[in-house]
Amino acid sequence: MKNILEEGDTVLDAAARERLLLVFDFDGTLAPIVSDPARAAMRRSTRTLLRVASLLFPCAVVSGRSRADLLTRLERIPLFAVVGNYGAEAGFGPVMRTLREDVAAWKQTMEARARAIPGVTIEDKGLSIAIHYRNAASRPAARRALQEAAAALPGARVFAGRAVVNVVPAGTHDKGAAVEQLLARSGRRRALYVGDGIADETAFRTRGVAVGVRVGRTHRSAAEYYLPAQAGVDGLLRTLVRSRRRQDGLDGDVHGLETLIDGVMAEPVPVEAR
């Protein structure tokens, strides 16, 4: 893997020239990982840069969070699309009622199993559940027990995350399929995708993703590039904005653009994002 901020100048210039569709995961990518998922928020710098980038590129977020949850955290950013539940919740078209009923039944089953493992919590996202074991006394033991129980759920697709077991309906879109759908809707041929977890690998392997950037280096990823840490997403956004503005014959720096953006869509900054 190559560090996109050190070895990717040519690639990012080409991405800016083509105005690629920019797609981001949320937790661990746009926002730092926190012990309480409910408190996840972008830094003010990331929020500002994403708002600027969204005026220069078609930008989308594809996350394991529910779409309603994401919309509260991405308020007043002019994104092309916000996709929740790993691609299952695209924000348009009907969602089968039976899928939500299946997920509700899985939650009841897993809650009964989780009561025997102190420190485990279950997050209900409507079209998926996330079983968090970060606070369990033994994470390996909790993971094994939860994965075994989840694997027995009828009609479920189970995959791991950071101290979490995710359960989604089998047959629904994964993140790779979500990116392909976004490309078709946007009329773009190629995308740049940034993510940090196992669920993002389906997007990195998608043919339409021209540039895959993983947050955190690992030899197990299909992404060609990486960012050393989550805070590096600011540098990535800043580089893309500067390159696009330079190609448009404008000042490549983002300084002064905050005034423009704030005039277009003023908003209070959440305390946790400052």
pLDDT digits (tens, 9 = 90+) for 74-85: 999 999 999 999
Residues 101 and 215 in one domain: no
- When pLDDT is averaged across residues 237-245 and rounded to a whole number, the result is 93
Q: Which of 134, 169, 204 is at the close of a domain?
A: 169
- Rounded to an integer, what is the distance from CA 43 to the centroid of its chain? 15
- Is the pLDDT at 255 greater than 70? The verdict is no
pLDDT in tens, 90-106: 876 656 678 889 999 99
**pLDDT one-digit tens code per residue, 43-84:** 999 999 999 999 999 999 999 999 999 999 999 999 999 999
DSSP track, 103-132: HHHHHHHHHHHHTTSTT-EEEE-SS-EEEE
Structural domain harbouring 81: 2-90+173-273
Which of 169, 200, 223 is where one domain is finished?
169
Kind plus residue range of the DSSP H or E element containing 211: strand 209-215
pLDDT tens per residue across span 128-176: 999 999 999 999 999 999 999 999 999 999 998 889 999 999 888 899 9
Top-confidence residue, 266 or 82: 82
pLDDT of residue 216: 95
Regarding whether 250 and 204 lie in a shared domain, the answer is yes
**At which of 169, 191, 216 does a domain end?**
169
CA–CA separation, 21 and 178 (whole Å): 13
The mean pLDDT of 209-233, rounded to a whole number, is 96
- Considering the domain architecture, whether residues 74 and 140 belong to the same structural domain is answered as no
Tell me: do 84 and 16 sit in the same domain: yes
Domain count, the chain: 2
196 and 268 share a domain?
yes
Whether residue 264 has pLDDT greater than 80 = no
- 205 & 252 share domain: yes
CATH number of domain containing 190: 3.40.50.1000
Q: Are 181 and 64 in a shared domain?
A: yes
Q: What is the pLDDT of residue 260?
A: 52
Residues 131 and 181 in one domain: no
